[in-house]
Chain A
Amino acid sequence: MIFYLLRRIVYTIPIMIGVAFFCFLLVHISPGDPLVSILPPDASIELQKQLMRLYGFDRPWYEQFATWFWRALNGDLGTSIASGRPVATEVMRAVGNTLMLSCMATLIGFLFGGLFGFVAGYFRDSWVDRVASAFSVLGVSVPHYWLGMVLVIIFSSWLMWLPATGAGPGGSGEWAWDWAHIQFMVLPAITMSVIPMGIIARTVRALVADILAQEFVVGLRAKGLTDLGIFLHVVKNAAPTALAVMGLQLGYLLGGSILIETVFSWPGTGFLLNSAIFQRDLPLLQGTILVLATFFVVLNLLVDVLQTTLDPRIQRS
């Protein structure tokens, strides 16, 4: 097991280098000069060149990449062009906020999606199944930024139960686990959880239906097990796949919540990415994408390892 773990970690190294390279390149080949936004419109060519040299944009791209990557390994992602603060600090704070939000959303999505999926799979083709399935299809297909706005209208404007935007009374970076703060998380988390809920529900429903159709379930009943006992067997069989889907969903949420974070002004990575793109803040953009990609790779690693421990049939070689 330890060797398996080590080997899997070693495997991620080339993936990470590749990811870093593409992050760097992707932003580099996109049109538009990053310095335009901070240079005064009437800046002299001298000044432009000076700034280019300062940020290193005058050197060949592979040199830039090597420098950038080496610094990134040391935790230095450069300085944000727009704010002048270190990218690493900015990204890490945003990552913390996003992680909180996406974990909460994934948890909600997994709990309810799993519940709906199990119920639908157990009572396949009954009305329960149809209701649960309708919910999950709706969840996958409704545009979530729209849903976010509707929720804001209902719960913030009409009912005034929950705050509409922001991450707490103290602004970003001063989070605490009390209701004064958590209430800010409720609406974005629910909005965000809708897609993973739908996907997990569909997956679990298909899984459960598949498992229940297998012969060993009749065998379990023939063994004299109660319905609860059989349910536990089914859960054990469904868990590896369900967890894998959950992990992937968490990965998507970490990177793909730009719209929701913007709608709710949640100070996370999506929000950060959004502003970095509009301000052509190259170092910030690169740093954010790199960190998010790293998260995705690490998450996949975790899911794989977890799956291997849960399902003995997956070979560890």
Chain B
Amino acid sequence: MIDTVLEAGDTEDGVRPVSAGPLLRVEGLKVVIRSGGRAVRPVDGVSFSIAAGETFALLGESGCGKSMTALAINRLLPDAAVIEGGEVSLGGDDILRLPETRMRSVRGGRVGMVFQEPATSLNPVMTVGAQICEALQLHRKLGAAAARAEARLLLESVGIPGADSRLDDYPFQFSGGMKQRVMIAMALAGRPELLIADEPTTALDVTIQAQVLDLLAGLQAERGMAMLLITHDLGVVARMAHGVGVMYAGELVETGPRQAFFQTPLHPYARKLFAALPDGARRGSMLDAPVGSVPALDQAFTGCRFAERCAQAFDRCDDESPRWQQVGSQAVRCHLYDADSVPRPLHRTSGAAFGQADASAGTPLIEVRDLAVHFPVRKGVLRRVVGQVRAVDGVSLRLGAGRTLALVGESGCGKTTVGKAILQLNAASAGAVFYKGENQTGLTREALMPMRRAVQMVFQDPFASLNPRLRVGEIIEEGMVSLGVAGDGPSRRRTVDALLERIGLSASMRWRYPHEFSGGQRQRIAIARALAVSPDVIVCDEPTSALDVSVQAQLLNLMRELQRERGLAYLFITHNLAVVEYLADEVAVMYLGRIVEHGPAARVLGAPAHPYTRALLDAVPKISAGSSDSLPALAVASDLPSPLDPPAGCHFHPRCGLASDICRVSYPAERSMGGGHRVRCHWADASARGLRRPD
């Protein structure tokens, strides 16, 4: 242990060569899943190594075999999956040949694991203390009292306040970020040499993600652990990794140190991943998404697996599987580098190309005035109202025809409730929603019809938002029938066919069921369903957050085209600021039921005046080649407070670095920063200059 700590200390700016005495070495690992005569190979000859104190990131989209690789290292594969070949050695021990009894001391002892979904990765009916103690008693042979004391230290080390009393709490009493911290504490219980983190922050908000990533990086440096980080997020890789491996269709296609990789990604697939990322610099231009999807893994590949989606593919790519080529410090499997070809550095379009901020042209399609949605909390026999959850508490918005307004905030801030209240799916407690100047609140079902037709919704989860028992054609047609648009049966069917073609599917697919489609395709179907009644406005509630980057890029391209063709207005509810930068004309930042900053996207994101907006922007891991280990200037601490009992004064003050006495007493009034940019902060000027309150 001592050697590894020293070793971790003597590297310069955290980047270390991959070959420095590897702790974990994976060589030609192959996993096969056999079912009903088919053999699927999710991991097909993967090799990499990780040194102590180093973080190696496996990067790739869903279904490319990242998680299977991680499970195989721990021999935790599902029953149907078998390790077909290869070698895994951990500190010299041949993991694949260890007897199962010794393997158990490796799992949780020498190798700790953190999973993606903190909500489901803890036993729901046991206290977190009991679950951590279980690992301690198992691997460190501690007695009950000693284990409890150690568990408390572990909870403290992962930054859980009041660790002593929280040991006796159950998982459901923790927030998502806190649960993930508990998970990390549990993984650390056996003092692992290697920590495998499988998408550890994907299910968390950006602010929480930043906290958890910092925690992981800190713990790793402190304990000199090696870390295998599995992620699809280039930003997370840039922030955390020393070495990077890009996986595609069961194979590694590129490996290299972080810096070199982010400067010059070599493999065309890796380049596509960068090109598919939305951001402000790509506004107004199409995102360069790879066409098609990952090939099925039950076939025998002859050529390069990426060839059919690769713009640079040539004949040889179809016939011959490329071998590893060393290019500088990187290694890549691509025929483009067979000869002594020189890689071009990644070309990034630069310069902010924000559209002109033409905020309030004419009557807005949708206007929300001082909207409030309160949910009563009832208790006792008589169901007395004992409190109000102020999910939405005085929100005003305007959305003009053909424009995109992004509503941004952490989960639980009330943004989805605003979307639903606009469609009158939630009753407003106060305030009004206007569609084309007409107040929609309190109208009857019939009177709501014109607005219901004109304002449609696309939901976050494409797997849950389509009725699995209806055919795609019926799903799209249903809205037309109930709202009585698009004429008789045959003409409706023509509309459905045209819509299917328009969203990039074929008309013959109208007979299929939702489960036959991928997530991205389903989300397109959801859009087609919304478009079927020719709406003016689509409320999109996190439409891309369940999708991979390349699929997200395809969907964003489609949405942008549809907006241009049909003059659609989007209310885009999201927590993804990169998407906002790419798509939105205006941004409204929401915190605990209120809009704290509002204005043209260029101004709000370019010169944020509210500390919360700045914190959100800072929390997004930056994709840059340089070292990004420095902490964000205004990281928010702790979780979102409860909307049942919001903090007095400015709701944000307990998490704000600028907060002073006045912030604790009075909620700031709205003030203009010019150019339609409005903010509610007592310290907006200081905040806009990027200052921190001197302590």
- Which stretch (A77-85, A189-197, A214-222) binds chain B? A214-222
A225 within 8 A of B: yes
Hey, what's the 0/1 contact readout for B113-134 against A, CB within 8 Å counting as 1?
1011100111111110000001
Hey, what's the 0/1 contact readout for B58-100 against A, CB within 8 Å counting as 1?
0000000000000100101000000000000000000000000
A–B complex contacts, Cβ < 8 Å, 15 sampled: A11-B381, A215-B115, A215-B120, A218-B76, A220-B123, A222-B111, A223-B107, A223-B113, A223-B189, A224-B106, A224-B107, A224-B139, A236-B125, A313-B124, A313-B170
B135 within 8 A of A: yes
Q: Which of B105, B115, B124 is the one whose CB lies under 8 Å from A237?
A: B124
The answer on a CB contact under 8 Å between A224 and B138 is yes
- Taking the closest CB of chain B, its distance from the CB of A194, in whole angstroms, is 30
- Known pairs A216-B120, A222-B112 / 8 extra A-B pairs, C-beta < 8 Å: A221-B107, A224-B104, A224-B105, A224-B108, A233-B123, A311-B125, A312-B170, A313-B125
Which residues 165-196 of B sit at the A interface, judged by CB distance below 8 A? 170, 172, 183, 186-187, 189-190
Per CB-CB distance, the 3 closest pairs between chain A and chain B, nearest first, are A224-B108, A223-B108, A222-B113
- Taking the closest CB of chain B, its distance from the CB of A122, in whole angstroms, is 11
- Taking the closest CB of chain B, its distance from the CB of A8, in whole angstroms, is 11
A226 within 8 A of B: yes
B347 within 8 A of A: no
Q: Which of B104, B120, B123, B379 is the one whose CB lies under 8 Å from A236?
A: B123
B250 within 8 A of A: no
Given contacts A219-B113, A222-B74, contact A233 B126 (CB under 8 A): yes
Q: Which of B108, B172, B380, B381 is the one whose CB lies under 8 Å from A222?
A: B108
Closest B residue to A10 using CB positions: B381
The answer on a CB contact under 8 Å between A224 and B115 is no
CB neighbours (8 Å) of A312 from chain B are: 125, 127, 170, 172
The answer on a CB contact under 8 Å between A223 and B172 is no
Given contacts A236-B125, A236-B126, A311-B125, contact A225 B138 (CB under 8 A): yes
CB neighbours (8 Å) of A233 from chain B are: 123, 126
CB neighbours (8 Å) of B106 from chain A are: 224
- Taking the closest CB of chain A, its distance from the CB of B136, in whole angstroms, is 10
Please, how many angstroms separate the alpha-carbon atoms of A224 and B106 in the complex? 7
- Taking the closest CB of chain A, its distance from the CB of B56, in whole angstroms, is 18
Hey, what's the 0/1 contact readout for A245-278 against B, CB within 8 Å counting as 1?
0000000000000000000000000000000000
A317 within 8 A of B: yes
Please, how many angstroms separate the alpha-carbon atoms of A218 and B114 in the complex? 11
Hey, what's the 0/1 contact readout for B183-221 against A, CB within 8 Å counting as 1?
100110110000000000000000000000000000000
**Which of B106, B126, B380 has most chain A Cβ within 10 Å?**
B126
B543 within 8 A of A: no
Hey, what's the 0/1 contact readout for A299-314 against B, CB within 8 Å counting as 1?
0000000000011110
Closest B residue to A11 using CB positions: B381
CB neighbours (8 Å) of A237 from chain B are: 123-125
B109 within 8 A of A: yes
**Which of A11, A216, A224 has most chain B Cβ within 10 Å?**
A224
Given contacts A216-B121, A236-B123, contact A226 B104 (CB under 8 A): yes
- Taking the closest CB of chain B, its distance from the CB of A9, in whole angstroms, is 13
**Which of A214, A216, A226, A312 has most chain B Cβ within 10 Å?**
A216
The answer on a CB contact under 8 Å between B120 and A214 is yes
Hey, what's the 0/1 contact readout for A47-77 against B, CB within 8 Å counting as 1?
0000000000000000000000000000000
Please, how many angstroms separate the alpha-carbon atoms of A225 and B381 in the complex? 44
The answer on a CB contact under 8 Å between B105 and A317 is no
CB neighbours (8 Å) of A225 from chain B are: 104, 108, 134, 138
Closest B residue to A233 using CB positions: B123
Which residues 323-349 of B sit at the A interface, judged by CB distance below 8 A? none
Closest A residue to B126 using CB positions: A236
The answer on a CB contact under 8 Å between A221 and B76 is yes
Q: Which of A219, A222, A310, A317 is the one whose CB lies under 8 Å from B122?
A: A219
Closest A residue to B70 using CB positions: A222
**Which of A221, A229, A236 has most chain B Cβ within 10 Å?**
A221
Please, how many angstroms separate the alpha-carbon atoms of A237 and B120 in the complex? 13
- Taking the closest CB of chain A, its distance from the CB of B93, in whole angstroms, is 15
Hey, what's the 0/1 contact readout for B515-528 against A, CB within 8 Å counting as 1?
00000000000000
Closest A residue to B122 using CB positions: A216
Please, how many angstroms separate the alpha-carbon atoms of A55 and B3 in the complex? 96
CB neighbours (8 Å) of B134 from chain A are: 223, 225, 229
CB neighbours (8 Å) of A214 from chain B are: 120
Please, how many angstroms separate the alpha-carbon atoms of A313 and B139 in the complex? 29
**Which of A7, A219, A222, A236 has most chain B Cβ within 10 Å?**
A222
Closest B residue to A238 using CB positions: B125
Please, how many angstroms separate the alpha-carbon atoms of A317 and B121 in the complex? 27
The answer on a CB contact under 8 Å between A224 and B109 is yes
CB neighbours (8 Å) of B126 from chain A are: 233, 236
CB neighbours (8 Å) of A216 from chain B are: 120-124
The answer on a CB contact under 8 Å between B108 and A310 is no
Please, how many angstroms separate the alpha-carbon atoms of A221 and B111 in the complex? 12
Please, how many angstroms separate the alpha-carbon atoms of A225 and B113 in the complex? 13
- Taking the closest CB of chain B, its distance from the CB of A239, in whole angstroms, is 8
Closest A residue to B74 using CB positions: A222
- Taking the closest CB of chain A, its distance from the CB of B186, in whole angstroms, is 7
CB neighbours (8 Å) of A223 from chain B are: 107-108, 113, 134-135, 138, 186, 189-190
Please, how many angstroms separate the alpha-carbon atoms of A171 and B74 in the complex? 65
Hey, what's the 0/1 contact readout for A279-317 against B, CB within 8 Å counting as 1?
000000000000000000000000000000011110001
CB neighbours (8 Å) of B170 from chain A are: 312-313
- Taking the closest CB of chain A, its distance from the CB of B302, in whole angstroms, is 35
- Taking the closest CB of chain B, its distance from the CB of A119, in whole angstroms, is 16
Please, how many angstroms separate the alpha-carbon atoms of A233 and B107 in the complex? 17
- Taking the closest CB of chain A, its distance from the CB of B552, in whole angstroms, is 24
CB neighbours (8 Å) of B111 from chain A are: 222
CB neighbours (8 Å) of B105 from chain A are: 224
CB neighbours (8 Å) of B183 from chain A are: 219
Hey, what's the 0/1 contact readout for A101-130 against B, CB within 8 Å counting as 1?
000000000000000000000000000000
Closest A residue to B113 using CB positions: A222
CB neighbours (8 Å) of A224 from chain B are: 104-109, 135, 138-139, 190
Closest A residue to B75 using CB positions: A221
CB neighbours (8 Å) of B117 from chain A are: 215
Closest B residue to A239 using CB positions: B125
Closest B residue to A225 using CB positions: B138
Closest B residue to A311 using CB positions: B125
- Taking the closest CB of chain B, its distance from the CB of A168, in whole angstroms, is 43
Please, how many angstroms separate the alpha-carbon atoms of A313 and B125 in the complex? 7
- Taking the closest CB of chain B, its distance from the CB of A222, in whole angstroms, is 4
CB neighbours (8 Å) of B113 from chain A are: 219, 222-223
- Taking the closest CB of chain A, its distance from the CB of B386, in whole angstroms, is 10
CB neighbours (8 Å) of B112 from chain A are: 222
CB neighbours (8 Å) of B107 from chain A are: 221-224
- Taking the closest CB of chain B, its distance from the CB of A134, in whole angstroms, is 23
The answer on a CB contact under 8 Å between B121 and A215 is yes
CB neighbours (8 Å) of B381 from chain A are: 7, 11
- Taking the closest CB of chain B, its distance from the CB of A206, in whole angstroms, is 17
Closest B residue to A236 using CB positions: B125
CB neighbours (8 Å) of B189 from chain A are: 223
Closest A residue to B119 using CB positions: A215
CB neighbours (8 Å) of B187 from chain A are: 222
CB neighbours (8 Å) of B138 from chain A are: 223-225, 229
Please, how many angstroms separate the alpha-carbon atoms of A221 and B115 in the complex? 12
Which residues 121-164 of B sit at the A interface, judged by CB distance below 8 A? 121-127, 134-135, 138-139
**Which of A11, A218, A237 has most chain B Cβ within 10 Å?**
A218
Please, how many angstroms separate the alpha-carbon atoms of A226 and B135 in the complex? 11
Hey, what's the 0/1 contact readout for B380-413 against A, CB within 8 Å counting as 1?
1100000000000000000000000000000000
Please, how many angstroms separate the alpha-carbon atoms of A215 and B117 in the complex? 8
Please, how many angstroms separate the alpha-carbon atoms of A311 and B138 in the complex? 25
Please, how many angstroms separate the alpha-carbon atoms of A11 and B380 in the complex? 11
- Taking the closest CB of chain B, its distance from the CB of A76, in whole angstroms, is 32
Please, how many angstroms separate the alpha-carbon atoms of A120 and B338 in the complex? 55
